Amino acid sequence: MSKNLLFLFLLSGFISIGQTKKNSKLETYTSRKEIYQIKYNPDHWIKNTDSIDWDAQFHDKYNLVNAYFIEYDYFITDKNLKSTIQDEYKEFGKIKNLKIYKKKINDITVNYFECELDYNDILYKYQGFIYNGKGGSIQMQYGAQAEAIEPNQGIIDELNNGISIIQ
């Protein structure tokens, strides 16, 4: 019995060391207003250094899924959510199947959206959220060909869960 307890104690120690090393791989992006930070795993997400239209831009290691983050200097009201999202895509075509719902990410209640866009006969899926917080609104958005979203939903959720408010 005491050998089993000693074994379990040693095993749990090794597991905690492994988790510490795994978590130490995370890198952090801090928003320009220093209100938000995104912790991300560089084994899953690569941060682009030359983003022009967005504050931060990431893509998965296969370059199938793109993630975009922006911090606005104004608030996007619930009343204007649908039109704001539609306006972002209007130069590429009309979005369809737009769904907006409340979702909790790291104790932050956001307006999460999902939609589709047929662009040059290829179906793209987008999802993300808009949050009104300190200093204005933020938006995190993911986009890919429809076939790439579902198999990569785990790393999308991982990046979403990496966002937090700096206290």
Domain that holds residue 161: 26-165
Task: Identify whether 10 is part of a domain.
Answer: no
Residue 20 in domain: no
153: in domain: yes
Residue 94 CA neighbour count, 13 Å, CB half: 2
For residue 19, being part of any structural domain is answered with: no
**Residue 97, pLDDT score:** 96
Of the two residues 13 and 140, the one the predictor is more confident about is 140
Full-model pTM: 0.82
pLDDT at 42: 96
Phi, psi (rounded to 5 degrees) for 51:
-70, 135
CA 18 to the chain's CA centroid: 25
pLDDT tens, residue by residue, 83-108: 999 999 999 888 999 999 999 999 89
Mean pLDDT of the chain: 87
* pLDDT above 60 (res 12): no
User: Per the domain annotation, does 128 fall within a domain?
Assistant: yes
Domain count along the chain = 1
144 assigned to some structural domain? yes
117 falls within a domain: yes
Mean pLDDT along residues 11-29: 59
Is pLDDT above 50 for 20? no
CATH number at residue 57: 3.40.1000.10
Residue 89, Cβ neighbours under 10 Å: how many? Answer: 18
Alpha carbon distance 131, 1 (integer Å): 53
> Is the per-residue pLDDT at 11 higher than 90?
no
Distance CA(68)–CA(51), nearest Å, equals: 9
Over range 2-31, report the average pLDDT.
Answer: 56
The verdict on residue 116 lying in a domain is: yes
